[in-house]
């Protein structure tokens, strides 16, 4: 057999090498996918996690309770006054404010209706709002959009509120000197969805 014939008869190794490289590539891709999934799961946000049945009493020790000012529905042309600022109960309009992050103040009469449904309304001082806090509040809203257990985030009605954040539920109020996710979660766990009109929790 000539040298030329021997070279032609010699098996080629290229397909085997390609096969081995394919296995290595698939293994590397699988490892990358696992790393990405692990990072995403480890970076899940506390704002979107399920709430416990009740809030931590230590985090809620400064919650203020007020007598109910009533549940009467009135026309939206009615001028309303409340004993607390922001309001926590009382006469209100026939439509509630849906879950959302709002950059403009909303009518108190609609917000009180949301409280009656079981919403938690979070008021913020726009001067104290950072991008990080805005994103956190938005995650709370996205996680709680049930009309009977919603989160509504609005600017404080007072242009100079004197405190950066206020949490309200029906007849309840908690003033926060600083933004604190665990405390907000505790307040939601205790009061969200537990309005007088149709409690769902």
Q: Is the pTM of this model over 0.85?
A: no
pLDDT of residue 85: 96
With a pLDDT cut of 90, the percent of the chain lying above it is 74
Q: At residue 53, does pLDDT exceed 50?
A: yes
pLDDT of residue 201: 82
Q: At residue 36, does pLDDT exceed 50?
A: no
Q: What residues contact residue 86 under an 8 Å CB cut-off, 6+ apart?
A: 108, 111, 121, 123, 156, 157, 166, 168, 173
Of 169, 180, 100, nearest to 139 (Cα)? Answer: 100
With a pLDDT cut of 70, the percent of the chain lying above it is 79
The arithmetic mean of pLDDT across residues 102-122, rounded, is 97
pLDDT of residue 89: 98
Rounded Cα–Cα distance for residues 153 and 135 (Å): 12
Query: Alpha helix (H) ranges present in the chain?
Result: 3-9, 14-42, 108-117, 131-143, 181-191
Q: At residue 59, does pLDDT exceed 90?
A: yes
The arithmetic mean of pLDDT across residues 193-201, rounded, is 89
- Distances in Å between the Cα of 69 and the Cα atoms of 14, 73, 147 are 84, 12, 22
- Distances in Å between the Cα of 135 and the Cα atoms of 7, 96, 111 are 67, 24, 22
Q: Where is pLDDT greater, at 132 or 29?
A: 132
Spatial contact of 83 and 92, defined as CB atoms under 8 Å apart: no
């Amino acid at each position: 057999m000539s040298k030329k014939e021997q070279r032609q008869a010699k098996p080629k190794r290229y397909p085997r090498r390609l096969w081995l490289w394919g296995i290595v590539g698939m293994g590397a891709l699988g490892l990358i996918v696992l790393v990405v999934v692990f990072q995403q799961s480890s970076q899940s946000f506390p704002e979107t996690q399920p709430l416990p049945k009740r809030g931590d009493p230590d985090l809620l020790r400064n919650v203020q309770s007020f007598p109910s000012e009533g549940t009467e529905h009135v026309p939206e042309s009615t001028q309303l006054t409340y004993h607390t600022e922001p309001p926590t109960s009382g006469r209100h309009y026939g439509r509630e404010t849906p879950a959302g992050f709002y950059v403009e103040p909303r009518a108190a009469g609609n917000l009180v209706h949301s409280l009656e449904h079981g919403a938690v309304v979070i008021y913020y001082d726009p001067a104290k709002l950072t991008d990080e806090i805005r994103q956190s509040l938005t995650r709370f809203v996205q996680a709680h959009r049930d009309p009977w257990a919603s989160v509504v985030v609005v600017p404080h009605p007072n242009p100079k509120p004197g405190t950066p954040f206020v949490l309200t539920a029906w007849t309840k109020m908690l003033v926060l000197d600083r933004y604190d996710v665990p405390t907000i979660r505790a307040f939601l766990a205790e009061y969200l969805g537990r309005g007088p009109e149709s409690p769902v929790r």
